[in-house]
Structure 1
Amino acid sequence: MPATLSSRKTAAALRTSARVSLDLLLVLVLAAAALWLLGRMWSIVWPLVVGLLLTTLTWPPARFLRRRGWPPALAASVVTVLFLLAAAGILALIVVPVASESAELGDGVVEGLKTVRDWAAGPPLNIGDDQITKAMDSGIARLQDSVGSAVTTVVTGVSTVFNGIVTTVLALFLMFFFLKDGPRFLPWLTRQLPGRLAVHLPVVTERGWNTLGSFVRSQAFVGLLDAVFIGLGLWIVGVPLVLPLAVLTFVSAFVPIVGALFAGFVAVLIALVSNGLTDALIVLAIIVLVQQLEGNVFQPMIQSRGLGLHAAVVLLAVTLGGSLAGVVGSLLAVPVAALIAVAWNYTREQLSDPPGEPADAPASPAA
């Protein structure tokens, strides 16, 4: 005879499912409230995050100086100044060569526009000068009709630049204080927390700090690989400004998606202006190949080893972060996923039975 459902077991399963669903709903509500609060405090949280990422990059030399007997304030000051000099040097490597060849690049742009115009005037397009003039007049009319939106866009852009400058200055100050007083944080946190939190939270914080350092180092290594391979390809093709373009590629690697697109666009544009369409297509192919290898092979492998995350988790985290918060979400997706993994692994360690110790015996039916 076929087995019949037990009403008692069915009711118990439904009660358990309802209780689990209620717990999950409560967790989702708390997570939504935390995200809302984070969004309201983003003007403070974003400089803090940038300062922490910069500190993970500059902490090794500061730690070296502190171990050699340097006072914390002096070590933090020296490292901060050196970091600023390095950033200024990187900007100089990009800006100075471009400025020195700006005249030639300008002439090349003009010649390129003339070439495109002559090509459009010939077959198969056969676009005459009157059609080009009409198109320009139409574009000017549309621009005049959208003066209000253009002004709004300019104001928004100026506000964005100003906010970026403020964020950078705050992040640099926070980096200095983190380098100076960072080792005091965990003892202070231990004294402020009650009970078991005084033991567990500092451990999770220390592991999270090590994870962030691993993330920044892996990003720097991936950017170095991109800069070397793309710079080598540009040198073989004979594109000018190889060193500035390689440095720009390295710096842009810290901004996922948009950074790579921007660096690749600049490289292709310079190749088109200076060497022509054929070399520009070759440069485009080199950049696409390197970016595909970096995004699908190098970056997932390096970050998965340094962060303890599977390569598929890294790819999914970047995709989810980009869909939820754009460029900032893509930048923070991997370290956030790694921090969640750190907290989860520590929680699982605390909830697991020690090796060799028998698991808790199941309760008896009478109990």
Structure 2
Amino acid sequence: MATHTPHRESPWRDPFGRAASRAAQVLLLAALFALLGLIFFRLQMVVVAVLVALILACAVFPLVRRLSDLGWPRVLATLTTFVGILVVLAAFIAAVVWAVADQWDSLMAAAQQGWQTLQDASARLPFAVDGAAVQEIWSRIQGVASGGAVEQSALTGLTTAGEVVTGTVLMVIVLFFFLQDAERIWGFLLSWFPPRHTEKLRRTGRDTVRILGGYVRGTAAVAVIEMLAIVVVLWLLGVPLAIPLAMLMFLGAFIPIVGPIVAGALAALVALVTTGPWAALVVVIAVFVIHHLETGLLRPFVMGRTVRLPALVVLLSIALGTLVDGVVGAALAVPLTAVAWSVIQLWLPRPGRIGDPAHGL
């Protein structure tokens, strides 16, 4: 008579086995992300140039499509849009250089003096303030603002300038091909995936173009409004260097939450030195009001549902982007995070969204 051998459960089916399996999956994903990070740092210039070109192409591609629908030849529509965006970018860069570069030393000197004034005032407070820690914070801010130029040698500066020029030329070339052959490039990429995923991939592409394009156009519109608002406030208060401060406010708008606050703090420091504490207080209040109008009214009105990320996610993405690639990484972090979140929601659907009132804590 045959004996019955008891069935032995696989060691991977018990709680510890499942936990070990998940841990192995996490380690595998961590290794994959580490490899991607290594590739990014090796090819940082190329990756950043392609990402900037992609974002700009998403912003202006609707114009190419609109001109094509009106009967323009595709090449003419592409060239018109391409030359137009290059002219706009060149004019913007020239305006920033004219407004900021020539007065950057005066701007930083005024900010330094304002910071020193705050330090002197803090020494008279009833509670102790660690002056060394405060000075360390200011030194780090100066280092970020100057890009570490003081510590760089001439050879390093030339190398950096060469990389910037090379990356800019690469970005311009890639931008043209994105505008000219967007459908062909996308079709080539789709051909590498199984047909059952085609529809989701098409939706992913449409969402990416919508999010990146809407983010750039909306942020630019919001930045112009903020720049005009702060320049009017500074002009009414009689604060000098109003134009470079307004341009910094414009640039800061492309780094949500953090950028406008840093630019506003710089404007308040300049106002403190040049006009007085009451003017600085008015600038702080104006920046506070502009910031809340931006987050509560301007961005939702201009962008609609383009970028809907919690403030904590925005801050964490900016921090991570800053660690990866400085100011450029901080500017690219939010739109790329919004695209990633949209892709995750599309490919990994859930019964409900995290954050809905029905989920609670």
TM-score normalised over the length of structure 2: 0.67
Measured in 2, the distance between the counterparts of 1:60 and 1:253 equals: 23
1:47 aligned to 46, 49, 69, which one? 49
- Deviation of 1:47 after TM superposition, in Å, equals 0.6
Match of 1:315 in 2: 315
Report the secondary structure of 2:14's partner residue: helix
Match of 1:333 in 2: 333
> Structure 1 residues 55, 294: closer, same or farther in 2, change over 3 A?
farther
Report the identity percentage: 31
> Structure 1 residues 48, 305: closer, same or farther in 2, change over 3 A?
same
Residues 64-73 or 211-220, more deviating = 211-220
Deviations 1:6-64 (A, max 9, x none): xx899722222222222222222222222222222222111101111221222232222
- Deviation of 1:77 after TM superposition, in Å, equals 1.3
> Structure 1 residues 322, 241: closer, same or farther in 2, change over 3 A?
closer
Letter in 1 for 2:284: A
Match of 2:215 in 1: 215
Whether contact under 8 Å (1:300, 1:312) holds in the other structure is no
Match of 1:224 in 2: 224
Q: Give the number of the structure whose alpha-carbon radius of gyration is greater.
A: 1
1:26 aligned to 4, 25, 28, which one? 28
> Structure 1 residues 97, 294: closer, same or farther in 2, change over 3 A?
same
Matches within 5 A, 1:115-264: 152-239=152-239, 242=242, 245-254=245-254
Match of 2:75 in 1: 73
Match of 1:127 in 2: none
Match of 1:285 in 2: 284
Match of 1:348 in 2: 348
- Deviation of 1:250 after TM superposition, in Å, equals 1.9
Letter in 2 for 1:81: V
Whether contact under 8 Å (2:228, 2:246) holds in the other structure is yes
> Structure 1 residues 191, 305: closer, same or farther in 2, change over 3 A?
closer
Q: Tell me the number of residue pairs that the alignment of Structure 1 and Structure 2 aligns.
A: 306
Q: As a proportion of its length, which structure holds more helix?
A: 1
Consecutive unaligned residues of structure 1, counting only runs of 5 or more, are: 1-7, 121-148, 353-367
> Would you say 1:61 and 2:85 are equivalent positions?
no
> Structure 1 residues 190, 165: closer, same or farther in 2, change over 3 A?
same
Whether contact under 8 Å (2:55, 2:216) holds in the other structure is yes
Measured in 2, the distance between the counterparts of 1:98 and 1:34 equals: 36
Measured in 1, the distance between the counterparts of 2:280 and 2:204 equals: 49
**Bigger relative contact order, structure 1 or 2 (CA pairs below 8 A, ≥6 apart):** 2
- Deviation of 1:72 after TM superposition, in Å, equals 1.9
Coordinate RMSD, CA, aligned: 4.2
- Deviation of 1:276 after TM superposition, in Å, equals 4.2
Consecutive unaligned residues of structure 2, counting only runs of 5 or more, are: 1-8, 121-148, 352-361
Deviations 1:87-141 (A, max 9, x none): 3433454556789x98xx98xx99xx9xx9xxx9xxxxxxxxxxxxxxxxxxxxx
